[in-house]
Structure 1
Amino acid sequence: PAAAHAWAPQSAAAAADRAQQRFDAGDTVAATKLARAALIDSPLAADAYRVLAEVALKSGASAAAEARLRIAARLDPRDAATQAWLAAAALREGRLEPALWHLDAILRVHPTFGARLYPQLLALARAPGAAPAYRAVFAAHPPWGGDFFRWACAQPAAADASVQALFAALRALPGALDAADWSAYLDRLIGQQRWLPAYLAWVESLPPAQQRHLDNIFDGDFRYPPGGNGFDWRISYVPGVEIAVVPRAAATGNALQVRFLDQRAPLWGQVAQLLVLAHGRYRVSGQARLHDLQNDRGLQWMLSCADNGRLLGASARLRGNMPWHGFAFDVQVPAQGCGAEWLSLRLAWRIPAEQWADGRAEFTDLRAVRLAAGRY
């Protein structure tokens, strides 16, 4: 810096840098003189305003310091230190929305600062008047917004109040939460076994057309692509199996097709849906078609309690060949300890040697109908 200053004495950048050096050395008089010289040479020298702000802070003139830092932030919005100071000043004065905008400016330029700033952003979500402030910032679609929300959803239960406040603020803003954000929030509620709030949030996340087709088993005829979260169908990869939703041959509608590839296939719940059945007795039914389905023990649908894994019932084991034909099994959902249930498709294997399977099966029209008294 000294060489640059000697080579270009009118350089505002060199003068501002020299001013910072003098301030760091404790010489506020020289720092002020050099910073002012830099501004004479270039009125847009943000570094010079920052030095003058530091001098003002050291002398106790916080209002003058803030005014100079505001100018510096307008001239150089990428400077994280300036934005952080202004955010802190806004929070001290109870001005939450301006503070959020300053933090937004930092995260847009320095996304890796999220590790330090996300905890503060989450804690602030519970502050009085936070909801409109967060909606204002998120309406600008900050690039860090989704990452922050999903991070928040992964925090321990101690953060529940802040996460709920953040969700309540953002759910009222159209487009603020995308599919990945909803999925993260639903996973949080489901992981905490908060079944009813999770179900209501999942319903809210659905398009209106799908909301009109809610049932005890959602989309049992597979008219929609599996959502993969909440209380929709979840289909994950299984070696030795191809699983897809396909059009029904010679009939309208779709079916779930499970094609085994003549090898071991550890199918055990990778096709599943979470249900919220009230206490009572139900008949779980559907339509199935089999094409040379070969396995030692067969393929079956099972219903179990999500709270504790307790098995409530299972269909007959399916093997061989069968045209479209109905199947059903009855279950009793207990009043306690079974706030939600997993409906899942499994091969009934007990040891790896029983996993070998070949052929295919198709399913549609899956339902869970509550039985009236006397129909047991």
Structure 2
Amino acid sequence: MTVRASVLRHGPRALTIVAAALSLVVVGQVAVSMNASNAPAGTVLRYVPGDAHATARQAWDLAQTGKTRDAWSSARQLAVRALAKEPTDIIAVRAAALASAQSGNLPRAGKLFDYAEALTRRDLITHIWFIENAAERGDVATALRHYDLALRTSRAAGTQLFPVLAHATSDPEIARQLADFLASGPPWADGFYRTLIGQDVPPETVASFVQRLHARGVKLPNEVLDGAIANLAAAQRADLAWKLYQATAPASAASLLRNGSFDRADRAVPFEWQYAQEGSIAASREAEEKSFVLAFRAEGGASGEIARQMIALAPGRYRLEADVGLDKADNLRLEWQVACVGQAQPLAKLPAESAAVFSVPAGQCPQQWLALKLVQAADTAAEGRVANVRLQPQPGS
């Protein structure tokens, strides 16, 4: 069973469940790397009988591949022989420790791994064993400390460790302690955040964890925040996406409409402008004299969406207007459409060239899409500009 499958199958106590599987994966990868960078132990021993380092590597290979108590006993004997000549050989110490663990002698294995850590804090496999041991005892704090040391030891460790941590955020206690730890700003934090939003972790879990981090004052990269919000919206959880946007961008969220003047770059979230970039219509934010506008270009006969933004209007009446500049073509027309998120039928279709009023009903319409569309196209290629989009509540609404 893979690490990810183990997490998904066993749920909340993921950190405990996957520790053993993770250790085998990482130990195996480190062993491959070790053997690739050295001559085979048997070859070295033929030319230098009794070489401590080669004997240690032979013990390590046997400790990993052995399937019987006799094999593990032989691994321990080889490791002891190597340590007799070189007491600080970390490979020999690990080999003796792993062979003891394989044989079921965990107290001896623990003492040997303690010795390994005393020799060096930069041995990845030693940290993996401590992660497994702490997780099995439910000691999240110790497991996280060794996660930290392992991730500082090897950049490659994140490939295996980050997905495990990402899935473990579904456990409230692990999430709490992990958020506290990340608030200290470990150097690997950004790599973990990017893994978090790229894994198949439920978006609700990611949102909850991101809010924990935000509450602790952790400044997340915009791409991480944007990814978490966009994933929620894509999962039909616009309500949670809006709450996360409000929590992490309160000033922007306080406006009925974001960036109506187009004076700043939009984030990659549905609550800011999203511009058409494919097909026969292309739109973008462009500078024009001393201000910015939404500019679009359409191929001849093209129609469709130019830009959209998700808004969260309370029930009531609203006035929408904008400054619109179009080519002189007689049959070129723009239209605003307002629709409840998750519903195909628009609440309103409003001419973009003049001010218009629309209503948001009470009930199941807490978020809405505001979309600018080219509904009647010119026969030839056409261009247009939209600026100063204003959205205001109407008196008595």
TM superposition score category, shorter chain reference = 0.7 to 0.9
Question: What residue in structure 2 maps to residue 224 of structure 1?
Answer: 264
Question: What residue in structure 1 maps to residue 357 of structure 2?
Answer: 330
Q: How far apart, in 1, do the equivalents of 2:287 and 2:211 lie? A: 39
Is structure 2 residue 319 aligned with structure 1 residue 276? no
The one-character-per-residue Cα deviations of 1:340-374 (angstroms, maximum 9, x if unpaired) are 1111111115xxxx67553322222212222223x
User: Offset of 1:9 from its aligned partner?
Assistant: 2.5
Equivalences for 1:72-83 in 2 at 5 Å?
72=116, 75=120, 77=122, 79-80=124-125, 82-83=126-127
Secondary structure at the aligned position of 2:363 is classed as: coil
Question: What residue in structure 2 maps to residue 151 of structure 1?
Answer: 198
After superposition, the CA RMSD in angstroms is 3.2
The one-character-per-residue Cα deviations of 1:322-355 (angstroms, maximum 9, x if unpaired) are xxxxx12221211123221111111115xxxx67
Opposite residue 138 of structure 2, the aligned amino acid is G
Is structure 2 residue 101 aligned with structure 1 residue 57? yes
Secondary structure at the aligned position of 1:263 is classed as: coil
User: Offset of 1:218 from its aligned partner?
Assistant: 1.4
For structure 1, which runs of at least 5 residues remain unmatched after alignment? 319-326
Secondary structure at the aligned position of 2:163 is classed as: helix
Deviates more, 1:327-336 or 1:188-197: 188-197
The one-character-per-residue Cα deviations of 1:238-280 (angstroms, maximum 9, x if unpaired) are 344453333444xx533222234x5354532x41111101111
Question: What residue in structure 1 maps to residue 187 of structure 2?
Answer: 141
The one-character-per-residue Cα deviations of 1:301-322 (angstroms, maximum 9, x if unpaired) are 221111212212222266xxxx
Contact 1:122-1:163 within 8 A present in 2 as well = no
Contact 1:295-1:358 within 8 A present in 2 as well = no
Greater share of residues in strand: 1
Question: What residue in structure 2 maps to residue 321 of structure 1?
Answer: none
Distance 1:195 1:245, change over 3 A: same
Given the two structures, how large is their TM-score scaled by the length of structure 1?
Answer: 0.79
Opposite residue 392 of structure 2, the aligned amino acid is V
Opposite residue 141 of structure 1, the aligned amino acid is P
Secondary structure at the aligned position of 1:332 is classed as: strand
For structure 2, which runs of at least 5 residues remain unmatched after alignment? 1-40
Q: How far apart, in 1, do the equivalents of 2:244 and 2:207 lie? A: 12
Opposite residue 195 of structure 2, the aligned amino acid is F
Is structure 2 residue 370 aligned with structure 1 residue 343? yes
How many residue pairs were aligned?
347
Distance 1:163 1:265, change over 3 A: same
User: Offset of 1:288 from its aligned partner?
Assistant: 1.5
The one-character-per-residue Cα deviations of 1:183-218 (angstroms, maximum 9, x if unpaired) are 121123323444444223223433x8xx17842111
Given the two structures, how large is their TM-score scaled by the length of structure 2?
Answer: 0.75
Question: What residue in structure 2 maps to residue 7 of structure 1?
Answer: 47
Q: How far apart, in 1, do the equivalents of 2:280 and 2:294 lie? A: 16
Opposite residue 358 of structure 2, the aligned amino acid is V
Opposite residue 92 of structure 2, the aligned amino acid is A
Opposite residue 297 of structure 2, the aligned amino acid is R
Question: What residue in structure 1 maps to residue 393 of structure 2?
Answer: 370
Greater share of residues in helix: 2
Is structure 2 residue 347 aligned with structure 1 residue 301? no
Question: What residue in structure 2 maps to residue 323 of structure 1?
Answer: none
Distance 1:173 1:108, change over 3 A: farther
Opposite residue 80 of structure 2, the aligned amino acid is R
Question: What residue in structure 2 maps to residue 189 of structure 1?
Answer: 232
Q: How far apart, in 2, do the equivalents of 1:58 and 1:149 lie? A: 33
Is structure 2 residue 267 aligned with structure 1 residue 267? no
Distance 1:238 1:55, change over 3 A: closer
The one-character-per-residue Cα deviations of 1:61-111 (angstroms, maximum 9, x if unpaired) are 32331232244356474544x433321211122221331343452683244
Contact 1:302-1:314 within 8 A present in 2 as well = yes
Is structure 2 residue 297 aligned with structure 1 residue 254? no
Q: How high is the sequence identity, in percent, across the aligned residues?
A: 20
Q: How far apart, in 2, do the equivalents of 1:248 and 1:3 lie? A: 73
Q: How far apart, in 2, do the equivalents of 1:186 and 1:63 lie? A: 47
Q: How far apart, in 2, do the equivalents of 1:11 and 1:174 lie? A: 54
